[in-house]
């Protein structure tokens, strides 16, 4: 019985804390009228900035991967030419193609 009474007191204490009635954070709302519209516009702007940041980050990583692959292809072409695997004409043609 004591456990039940203790549990009841613990669960009822938040309700007893507000003796004037249940008004959870009465003045902390979005407001009325124009404030509600600006609040939703603000959240849409924040969401748009987050999406734009994700797109920028993905594109930046793709560009850096492409430049790294081009550099590694040029290095491989130089190595093949240095080993004598390809002729000078083929080397210059491929280098022009890779340089873009």
Q: pLDDT at residue 6 above 90?
A: no
User: Based on the structure, what is the number of domains in the chain?
Assistant: 1
pLDDT tens by residue, 8-60: 666 666 555 555 555 555 555 555 556 666 777 888 899 999 999 999 998 88
Instruction: Rank 48-52, 81-85, 93-97 by mean pLDDT and report only the highest.
Output: 48-52
Q: Give the Cα separation of 53 and 35 in Å (integer).
A: 27
CB-facing half-sphere around the CA of 72: CA atoms within 13 A: 6
Residue-number span of the structural domain to which 55 is assigned: 2-99
pLDDT at 27: 55
For 85, the enclosing helix (H) or strand (E) is none
DSSP-derived secondary structure for 9-74 = HHHHHHHHH-TT---SSTT-S--STHHHHHHHHHHHHHHHHHHHHHHHHHHHHHHHHHHHHHHHHH
């Amino acid at each position: 019985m004591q456990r039940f009474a203790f549990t009841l007191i613990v669960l009822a204490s938040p309700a007893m804390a507000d003796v004037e009635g249940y008004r959870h954070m009465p003045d902390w709302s979005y407001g009325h009228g124009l404030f509600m519209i600006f609040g939703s516009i603000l959240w849409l702007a924040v969401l748009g900035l987050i999406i734009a940041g994700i797109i920028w980050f993905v594109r930046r990583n793709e560009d850096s991967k492409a430049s790294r692959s081009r550099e590694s292809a040029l290095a491989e072409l130089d190595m093949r030419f240095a080993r004598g695997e390809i002729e000078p004409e083929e080397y210059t043609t491929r280098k022009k193609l890779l340089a873009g």
